[in-house]
Structure 1
Amino acid sequence: MTAIEVHGLRKAYGGRAAVAGIDLTVASGEVFALLGPNGAGKTTTVEILEGHRRRDGGDVRVLGTDPGAAGRDWRARIGIVLQTATDAADLTVAEMVRHVAGFYPRPRPAGEVIDAVGLTDKAGAKIRSLSGGQRRRVDVALGVVGRPEVLFLDEPTTGFDPEARRQFWELIRAQAREGTTILLTTHYLDEAEALADRLAVIADGRIVAEGSPASLGGRATAGVTVTWDGRREEVADPTGLITRLVREGADLSRLTVTRPTLEDTYLTLIGDAR
């Protein structure tokens, strides 16, 4: 089944196209990452899918419903972690999570969610006393407390330290195992590679590539770089070269075979789109 369907999505500001005809399909239960530089159209696209922003054209369906005309029942089925969020500074973490949980028909226990985002020792602290990274964890907790069928995550781990990011990844994997569809935007390519089943790169309001992290932009079939004994050679298939080196008795103790990283591919794609 399909959780998100987008056809010909367009949005402009002051005559400038922020989103210029995007087509996108996300399967139910899939973790899908949307990558792109600042100003590429990622956040605008996500806000339209969330029902927070009106589109100028195209067709959008999330859980079979047009987000621009959706009601409260539909909103109870989605979770959102915005890029920036306001907070109730005088509430404690536990009070805030319990308050938002009350909007949903079958929320997760507040304590379970607070523990999952690494804030157990801050449950009784007022939100105004938290650091920026800790406040971001509260945003994530509010996004998942309602057991959403579709979860939108817009730069969710900004401000997280490495340990907190790994803990967050496990939370997202647990959500995915339960069948939650997740649409993620992130500038952390290791995060996209670790979490996403598929991803798309958006540049200048258009999708320029789409696929699995391993195959994006022809990455799986791209040439490889073989390095040995201070020498380096780029080949389409390393098998023949390595066989020849073995036959010649070359020193292969420090032999490495590398394909383009996701970062290499991403930078090439957004560079080509400029």
Structure 2
Amino acid sequence: MAISPSLAVQQCEELLRKELQDNQARNILAGAKRVIEMMLSRRTELSDAYEELYTRLGRTPQTLRLLFEVLSRAPGQYSEVQISKERKAQKELRELNQRIAGLAEELAKQIVRKSTLNDTSRFYSETHHHIFDVIYSAAKESKHYEFQQYVQEHTEALQSQFGLKYWQSISSVVDAIGADAINAEVKASDSATVAATESRRSGRSDFVKALIDQMEKVVGLSKHHRISDNTLASLINCALDLDADTLLDGDYIKHLRQRERMKRSDAKERT
């Protein structure tokens, strides 16, 4: 005779099914759908985890629902493939800023040289000499009708009111673009991405760190509502569909959490 699932298991699986139904109704998050279906198919492995989660969070089902939402979406957001793409994007942004700075410096020099020849030679290059002329030309070329219709008449009035000496030269604006690029810091848009990309080499720990960050920041699981190492390992194993040879255990999660706490502590001391 089959043993009926406990109340904890029933409640947790009911939340998972509700999340699955909502996603299917809106035809979104196919990756999350696969994770939820995997979790529902691996009840035996997750029973102890469900018992703990229900004991800790059962009185706040909204928090438990949010935890499952974060868990089901995390593999798609912070997979090794996705984090690899983010690392490449980070590197490319830094390289592009360097290139933009170099190109801007060279362009500014050429513009200054052109202006000098315009002023000293018997030839004149009929190119833009006012920064607003550049903006008007860009608006025309890009068909930016909102600017042309609502803004340009006001800037033209200012341009007529104040002579050329009151405005930045085109070359100085280009210089500013280069300075902005060279001084720009490439930052992640969220703390989970920071956690997933801070190590020098990619690995499964990237996903685990991102998930822990999401659970702390999005779900609000502080040290007072902390999920045990074993439960977190079970949830990750099912969410990532790990096989017997690659399963994570509680010790792995424990050591990773310890390393992260030491990093945060060292960072606070340095500041």
Quick check: TM above 0.5? no
Q: TM-score when scaled to structure 2?
A: 0.26
Q: TM-score when scaled to structure 1?
A: 0.26
Q: Which has more radius of gyration?
A: 2
Higher relative contact order (CA closer than 8 Å, sequence separation 6+) = 2
